[in-house]
Structures are given as structure tokens and as C-alpha cells.
Homo-oligomer: A and B are copies of this chain.
């Protein structure tokens, strides 16, 4: 599975309408993120994206073969970032807790830097039935497989409970992380500042490892 494709950089870019030629593609990409965030992929019209990007209708098709290709670009942008990190983590010799923390940080950093991308991940990539073709679903399964490997490592190293299936622990950790983010996305709560990110990350990790209860059951 080719997971590293990165169609298009979305570097911060405050002058969208006076981009040099080479950045038009990025401008379209960013505009697409904003429009799709607001209306969902299927309701996003190519007209809207072109207008948002400040370019003509046909130019979208000059840079992206189709509306679906635009979605694929966003899709790949998300996954390539996440899998890039996870590959790095696998090569490192850090504790499972640090690995989970790194993944958590990645989600939160992305949400701060590119809220549209995370919004789209949460609403269009992660859950939308018509968007989730079997091929795309594979990315998810791969994500869960890799996360489960970390959890299993934790069980083997004696830092995570062995009386629960690694699969369940994975669902719980990933679900909590993604569900937490999703709640913020839906409530339209932006994420700003290091301290807020640190709070959320440590809350999630703390509860996952130590529990939210005061008395051990």
C-alpha cells in the first residue's frame, strides 16, 4: 500500500490570491479543504472551490483530474502525515506510552495547525459511508494494525494490562482520541496554545493509563 503520497503542500499561506504559479495547486487544495469542511464532500461544488480559491472553474481540472482526485489528495495528505509519524515511531526505541503520546500530539498539532484537515478527517474520511471505499478502508485498518502493535508491545513490556484483548484496548485508546477530537470539531472549538494541547493530551493519556476513578476497583 503506497501510503506516503503527498499531493500537495498546504503550508500556511496568507496571500491566497497572489500566489506564484506553482502554488495554484496548493491554493486549490486549501480552498477545497475549507469548502469541504463547511459543506461536506458531496455537497461541496467545484464552483465553490474555484471561487474560494479565487481561480476559474476549469483550472481546478487543470490541476486535479476530478473532484474525487481532490478528495484523494486530501485523503493522502492526512494519511501520509500520520503514517509518516508512525513509521518513525516504529523505528525508535521509546516506550509505548511515549509512542501513544506522540500520536496524540500529532492529532492535536494537526488540529491546531490545519483544523480543516482534521475536520475533514473526522467527518469525511473517518466516517462517511460513501467515501469509505474498500480501498480507502484499508488505510484505516492499517492505522489500527499499527496502533495495536504499540498496545501489544505495552502488554509485553508489562506496562499495559494483559487481561484485555489488545484489540479492545486499541479501540478504546484510538476511539477516545478520535472521539475527543470529534467532539471538539463538532462543537467548533478551536485548539490554541501549548497549554491546552498539553492538558488534553495528558488527560487522555492519564485516563487511559491510570483511569478516571479515584478508588481502584
Contacts and interface: CB of A to CB of B under 8 A. Distances in A.
Given A127-B186, A128-B128, A179-B179, 7 more contacts: A39-B129, A42-B130, A126-B127, A160-B214, A168-B203, A172-B207, A174-B183
Interface in A167-206: 168-169, 171-184, 186-187, 199-200, 203-204, 206
- 5 closest A-B pairs by CB: A175-B179, A211-B211, A209-B213, A176-B176, A179-B179
| Among A168, A199, A216: residue with most chain B CB under 10 A | A168
A161 B215 CA distance: 9
As for how many copies of this chain the complex holds, the number is 4
Contacts of A208: 207, 211-213
A212 B169 contact: yes
A198 B168 CA distance: 13
Contacts of A141: 187
A160 B179 CA distance: 20
Contacts of A216: 210
Contacts of A128: 40, 123, 127-128
A44 to B, nearest CB: 9
Candidate in A130, A178, A207 with the most chain B CB atoms within 10 angstroms: A207
A200 B126 contact: no
A172 B204 contact: yes
Interface of A: 36-40, 42-43, 119, 122-124, 126-132, 137, 140-141, 144, 158-161, 164-165, 168-169, 171-184, 186-187, 199-200, 203-204, 206-217
A129 B171 contact: no
Nearest to A132: B186
A206 B40 CA distance: 36
A127 B186 CA distance: 8
B203 A207 contact: no
Contacts of A173: 212
A178 B180 contact: no
